[in-house]
Amino acid sequence: MPVTIDLTGRTALVTGGAGGLGFACARALADAGADVVLSDLESPRLSRAAAELGAAARPADLTDRAQAAALVDGLDRLDVLVNCAGIMRTTPLLDIEPGEWLRVVDVNLNATFWLTQAAGRRMAGQGAGSIVTLASVAARSGRPNAAHYSASKTALLSLTRSAAEALAPVRVNAVCPGVVLTPHVGGDHQRPRPPLRPRGRGGLPEGGRRALAAQAGGAARGGGGGGVVPGQRPGVVRDRPGAQRRRRTGDELT
Ligand SMILES: NC(=O)c1ccc[n+]([C@@H]2O[C@H](COP(=O)([O-])OP(=O)(O)OC[C@H]3O[C@@H](n4cnc5c(N)ncnc54)[C@H](O)[C@@H]3O)[C@@H](O)[C@H]2O)c1
């Protein structure tokens, strides 16, 4: 069943907005009527992406807690946060150097926490809002060649559950996409590479679009609670069996 969400008058902040999924999420939110603010590391890519969407660009290195807080403080209003900023490294477990481990955890987990905390404080104060975090199918299983990535994404699921409890009625959810060809996974999203179907900057797969719109749309309704919505095959975001028994999770997503 199609999900129709109207986010007119709402402000949505999307991190990693110059990247593949961030841009696609931002476009989905803009299509739903939201005023979109794109954040990413300062680069021409960010300016180009924002210009393409007619969105505001707010550069920030989110591993810096002060920059994360300033990003939220600089917004007149904030109804939806999509945590898309992230990095992936492919290195066998025994070869991961301390610096690489720390960097992956810093960007994927710490930065997401700084921003979730800052945004959560604002949203809890206004009694409404929606936070959606991009985890990964890698959160659900080990990755012998990306143990840091997998561990950081698993930690995001736990953070999401904690934040959902702590911040209610603010909605806090995570989605767990499978592989989508973007720069993140070394994909050239201009060139199809069967058997994977590239989604890249062009847009979200329909399942992901519905998931994002439904979760972000909770902001307009002021619904509370949260949950985790793992994807099960490349490019598709699905709700977890039994998720409908949880309170106000991704039950609109089937
Ligand atoms: N592409 C996939 O197959 C896939 C699958 C599952 C989950 N994910 C997750 O989705 C999210 C987006 O992935 P993507 O494929 O669009 O990646 P991407 O590399 O295209 O985009 C990620 C963006 O994050 C930004 N970023 C990195 N470090 C940052 C920092 N310190 N501060 C602010 N921004 C920073 C990068 O500049 C980049 O634009 C990531 O969290 C990723 O782990 C991606």
Residue 174 one-letter amino acid: A
Name the phi and psi angles at 76, rounded to 5: -65, -40
132 exposure class (CB count in 10 Å sphere: 0-12, 13-18, 19+) = buried
Nearest alpha carbon, ligand 1 atom 42: 86
Best residue among 14, 21, 67, 153 to mutate for probing ligand 1's pocket (most ligand atoms within 8 Å of CB) is: 21
Q: What is the pLDDT of residue 179?
A: 83
User: In sequence order, what are the residues at sequence separation of 6 or more whose Cβ sits closer than 8 angstroms to the Cβ of residue 241?
Assistant: none
**Ligand 1 and 38: CB distance under 6 A:** no
Q: What is the pLDDT of residue 2?
A: 63
> How many whole angstroms from 212 Cα to the centroid of ligand 1?
16
**Ligand 1 and 55: CB distance under 6 A:** no
Tell me how far apart the terminal alpha carbons of the chain are, to the nearest angstrom: 8
**Ligand 1 and 5: CB distance under 6 A:** no
If phi > 0 it is left, if psi is from -120 to 50 it is alpha, else beta; for residue 102 that is: alpha
Q: What is the pLDDT of residue 132?
A: 97
Best residue among 84, 190, 238 to mutate for probing ligand 1's pocket (most ligand atoms within 8 Å of CB) is: 84
Residue 145 one-letter amino acid: N
* DSSP codes, 39-70: EESSSHHHHHHHHHHT-EEEE--TTSHHHHHH
Q: What is the pLDDT of residue 174?
A: 96
**Ligand 1 and 177: CB distance under 6 A:** yes
Residue-by-residue pLDDT tens, the chain, 254 positions: 666 789 999 999 999 999 999 999 999 999 999 999 999 999 999 999 999 999 999 999 999 999 999 999 999 999 999 999 999 999 999 999 999 999 999 999 999 999 999 999 999 999 999 999 999 999 999 999 999 999 999 999 999 999 999 999 999 999 999 887 776 666 544 444 443 344 444 456 656 666 676 677 664 344 444 555 544 333 333 434 333 333 333 322 21
Structural domains of the chain, ranges and CATH numbers in brackets: 11-245 (3.40.50.720)
* DSSP codes, 210-249: HHHHHHHHHHHHT--EEEEEEEEETTEE-PPTTGGGSTTS
Which pair of tokens denotes residue 52?
């393409």
> How many whole angstroms from 108 Cα to the centroid of ligand 1?
9
Q: What is the pLDDT of residue 208?
A: 67
pTM score: 0.85
| 11, 33 contact by CB (below 8 A) | no
Q: What is the pLDDT of residue 194?
A: 42
